[in-house]
Amino acid sequence: MDENLLKQKIQRWIVSVSVLILVGKFIAFYITNSVGILTDAMESIVNVVAGFISLYSIHWASRPKDKEHPFGHGKMELISASIEGLLISIAGGLIIYEGIQRLFSPAEIEKLDLGIWVIAIAGLMNYLMGWYSIRMGKKYQSMALIAGGKHLQSDTYSTIGLVVGLLLLYYTGITWIDSALALVFGGIIILTGISILRKTIANLLDKADDEVLNSMAQSINEHRQPDWIDVHNTKAIKYGSFLYIDCDLTLPWYYNIIESHQACENLKTALVSNLSDKIQISIHSDPCMMKHCEHCEMSDCTSRITPFEALESITLSNIIESDEERNE
């Protein structure tokens, strides 16, 4: 199956199960009248809405690049994740508001034992869905699936605490515990939303991804050829599942166009093998200078002015250096 169709199928499955969980939680709230259970049910509304948004964004992001969008439509997944983070934060605020109201006007709680079972089973289902969504998101480089999975798993962690609190309420009968649970987990939900927003905004602003750049440096060192004198001025941008890389490769000054092109192709092959097949690389070749001689392995070079000493290791700090920083 096509990768994009597979991602959409995964998200449709997650949305379908989320709808069932939402219905179950509201039934539990209707039976028990517990504001603690209401907090979980309200967050499930966010799960379902965000799930539909993610499904649409994954469909949109899968569209091929065109004249108006030369880098494709992958950023749509980040917009979807940002909306999800915002919705999570709003839900947390509403939960806190309801908890404060119930603190001063407590309601009678009934059949709490049944409600606890429903919430516990729903929490387990959320965890399994979140684990699967994150696993598939990492495999197919989908920010929407990863964000959705982390949201579902954070919902599970809050559900565990909620179940513990509801058990205390069940055995002690202290009604303010119900409101306290709403306040605590409302705050946790807000923090989860803010965390997702920070990551997606950073990606929308094309913040440098050190993980990708470190992987590049590792790949270059593993597959290094004698004529790869150094790599610098590197930039990497993610657009959904696609990765766009731009870098400069220093080669022997006497290479002709064909030799330079082949060296650049060898570097592309090395990066694709370690990073992803959904990668577009643009490499600019620079001629070496006299200062490079001591780090150049080209033993047959007739223009060498100093003997070879040692290779200059390719690291995160030197592959991102610009020509201005290197005085070139």
pLDDT band at 135 (very low <50, low <70, confident <90, very high): confident
Q: What pLDDT does residue 260 have?
A: 93
> Are 22 and 41 a contacting pair, CB within 8 Å?
yes
- If you average pLDDT over residues 298-325, what whole number do you get? 78
Higher pLDDT, 115 or 191: 191
Q: What is the pLDDT of residue 192?
A: 76
Instruction: State the pLDDT confidence band at 64, using cuts at 50, 70 and 90.
Output: low
Residue carrying the six token digits 């050829």: 225
- Encoding tokens for residue 301? 């070079």
Per residue in 151-170, pLDDT tens?
A: 677 677 667 767 777 777 77
Q: What percent of the chain has pLDDT over 90?
A: 5
pLDDT of residue 104: 74
- 268: CB partners within 8 A, 6+ apart: 281, 283
Give tens-digit pLDDT for 251-269: 998 899 999 999 999 988 8
Mean pLDDT of 97-119: 71
User: What does the alpha-carbon distance between residue 133 and residue 55 come to, in Å, rounded to a whole number?
Assistant: 12
pLDDT over 70 at 68, yes or no:
no
Per-residue pLDDT for 208 more than 70? no
Amino acid 83: pLDDT: 76
- Averaged pLDDT, 195-199: 77
Average pLDDT of the residues of the chain: 76
Instruction: Pick the more confident residue, 78 or 255.
Output: 255
Domains along the chain? 3-204 (1.20.1510.10), 210-319 (3.30.70.1350)
Residues in the chain: 328
The pair of structure tokens assigned to 3 is 């990768």
Rounded distance between C-alpha atoms, residue 46 and residue 79, angstroms:
16
Higher pLDDT, 230 or 182: 230
Residue 308 C-alpha from the chain's centroid: 43
CB of 320 within 8 A of CB of 214? no
Say yes or no to pLDDT of 209 above 70: no
As a whole number, mean pLDDT of residues 182-205 equals: 76
Residues 203-209 have a mean pLDDT of 63
Q: Which of 141-150, 227-236, 276-285, 298-307 has the highest mean predicted lDDT (pLDDT)? A: 227-236
pLDDT of residue 277 exceeding 80, the answer is: no
* pLDDT, position 106: 62
**Gap between the terminal Cα atoms of the chain:** 48
Q: Which residues contact 311 (CB under 8 A, 6 or more apart)?
A: 224, 295, 297
Rounded to an integer, what distance in angstroms lies between the CA atom of residue 244 and that of residue 216?
12
The encoded tokens of residue 197 equal 């927003």
Query: What per-residue confidence (pLDDT) applies to 326?
Result: 65
Token readout for 83 is 């909306």
Res 264: pLDDT: 92
Q: What is the pLDDT of residues 15-57, one digit of tens each?
A: 888 888 888 888 888 887 776 677 677 767 777 777 777 777 7
